[in-house]
Amino acid sequence: MSAISSAASGVVGGGAGGNRFNELSSEDFLQIIFTELQQQDPFEPNDSSALLEQLNSIRAIESDIDLTKKLEDIVFQNKLASAGNLIGKTVEGVMPTGDRVVGNVFAVTRQGDDVSLQLDSGWELPADNVQVIVDPATLPG
C-alpha cells in the first residue's frame, strides 16, 4: 500500500466521525505527497503518470498558497487604507470589552494583522468594530 493510500485511508476511515478527508489542509496533502515521493524507488517508480500528476498537484497547491497569501496582503492593505481615510472623521463603535466609544480619529495604528483607530477621546478602537462614521465637514451648521 502506498504512503498516500495508507495516509488517506487513515483519514477517511479512521476516527470517530467517519470521513475526515475534507479536513486535510494543503500542507497535510503536500506532506502525504512528499512522503510518497520519498518512499518510491527512483529506478522503479510506481507509475510515472501518477508521479507527474502528483508533481502537478504540488505545483497547483503551492500556487494556491501563494495566491491566498497575496490576496490576504491585498485585503490587509485595503483595510489599512480604509482606516486611514477615517482620519479627521468622528466614529462610534464598540470595544472588545463591550464599552461603547465615540471620538474623532487622529491616527491609525497597526499591530500585527490588527488595525486600530486612535480617538481623541483616549480610546483605541479596532477598525473592525466601527459602527458609525460621521464626516464633520458634511454636518449642517
pLDDT tens string 53-111: 877 888 888 889 899 999 999 999 999 999 999 999 999 999 999 999 999 999 999 98
Label residue 89 left, alpha or beta by phi (over 0 means left) and psi (-120 to 50 means alpha): beta
The reported pLDDT for the residue numbered 70 is 95
Better-scored residue on pLDDT, 72 or 23: 72
Cα angle 10, 8, 25 (rounded to 5 degrees) comes to 105
Separation of CA 63 from chain center = 15
* Residue 45 pLDDT grade (very low, low, confident, very high; cuts 50, 70, 90): low
* Domain regions of the chain by residue span: 3-79, 85-138
Arch. (CATH architecture) of 85-138: Roll (2.30)
The reported pLDDT for the residue numbered 109 is 95
Q: What is the mean pLDDT of residues 17-37?
A: 69
